[in-house]
Chains A and B, each alone.
Chain A
Amino acid sequence: DAKTTQPPSMDCAEGRAANLPCNHSTISGNEYVYWYRQIHSQGPQYIIHGLKNNETNEMASLIITEDRKSSTLILPHATLRDTAVYYCIVRLKMDSNYQLIWGAGTKLIIKP
């Protein structure tokens, strides 16, 4: 199974870019990388996903290395509301279903 490795915690100053790394060295060619975050006492919230190319949406950017063994989630201008646990996830196909294989998560604390 492809697995992800994330730092357990990170700090970032408010207004600065938050860069969250993730290693997924055993990922297969057709497995997507997803990022979700979970704010305290809430359900996980989808952020972004990608396969090979870099991706950007209104929440974040996802940079995937050419060998696909690692990726970085970028929150361009972090606010206090971005304080959350960020999960790097690999999506595997198992039988006819796709399942999310969750990493342990990075607790991101945005400081004023």
Chain B
Amino acid sequence: DTEVTQTPKHLVMGMTNKKSLKCEQHMGHRAMYWYKQKAKKPPELMFVYSYEKLSINESVPSRFSPECPNSSLLNLHLHALQPEDSALYLCASSQLAGLAKNIQYFGAGTRLSVL
């Protein structure tokens, strides 16, 4: 099973709302990732968690707040977003972030629209 599950699939929110994106994997992976993808562009790395600890933050604005409650779950808390934050948000997981062979498995993504 190489499934990464993301919920919700679609989300519409206002600029004053608070919402959360959820990601779950049951492959025993100890590294999890959040990516942002704008239309017709490749994914851009936002955060990396390794053993439930934040190891990379790619200078993401504080209105995006990641959380890794346990090794299977990854959340992305959203607050006071801007319309330009509308995008597809992808979650991925891999065995370990520091492995030489590091296959990342992606979820289907959450398509976010900020009004």
Chain A residues with CB under 8 Å of chain B are: 32, 41-46, 49, 87, 91, 94-100, 102-105
User: SS class of chain A's interface: helix, strand, loop or mixed?
Assistant: strand
Contact call B106/A96, Cβ cutoff below 8 A: no
Stretch at the interface among B12-20, B48-56, B74-82: B48-56
Query: Which one of B50, B55, B106 lies within 8 Å of A45 (CB-CB)?
Result: B106
* Number of cross-chain contacts by CB at 8 Å: 55
Complex Cα spacing A88 to B114, Å: 30
Set of chain A residues within 8 Å of B102, measured between Cβ atoms: 91, 98
B64 at the interface (CB under 8 A from A): no
**Interface residues, chain B, CB within 8 Å of chain A?**
4, 6, 31, 41-43, 45, 48, 50, 55-56, 90, 92, 97-109
Q: Report the bound CA distance from A41 to B90 in whole Å.
A: 11
A4 to chain B, nearest CB (A): 10
**Could you tell me the distance between the alpha carbons of A24 and B55 in the complex, rounded to whole angstroms?**
27
A residues within 8 A CB of B109?
42-43
